[in-house]
Amino acid sequence: TSGRSTNRVDAARREFRRRREVLELQFLTAAARSGMPRDLEWHDCRFEDEVLLAADPDDGRLRAFVGVTVCFRPVEESELEDDPAVVHRHAATALFVFDQGRWTTHGRAIFNLAPSEAIDRLGLVPLSQRGSRAAGG
């Protein structure tokens, strides 16, 4: 089964690379619609190159984690409109889920944690990144 598992992870990695631009846009759209954080809108989101994969030890589902830098702006006429701290950049990790052979996202961002820290915090099993740079990812 480990060979089949390796093939599944490799296929998931290739699929993420193939659809990355669309996934990033889906993430930003979903995150912006979430209303979180309250009174702030997502103004800009920069994605890091590296993608870390992990598996859920309970159900084996794959997750992808990408470091992001997010810049918010206050919603007009909100309590935060005049708060200068709002416009600073915020480090976070964007979360993606591999479901039924396709990557998707609900716009979940884990703030103040790097991808490897988010994987650890969620109790997931990090997957080897062997060859991911050479393979273009």
pLDDT tens string 117-126? 999 999 999 9
User: Strand (E) positions, 62-105?
Assistant: 62-74, 89-99, 102-104
Contact 90, 71 (CB under 8 A): yes
* DSSP letter (8 states) at residue 75: P
> pTM (2 decimals)?
0.81
Give the pLDDT confidence of 12-68 residue by residue, as tens digits: 999 999 999 999 999 999 988 876 666 677 778 899 999 999 999 999 999 999 999
Apex 132 CA angle, 116 and 60, nearest 5: 55
Looking up tokens 């995150």, which residue turns up? 31
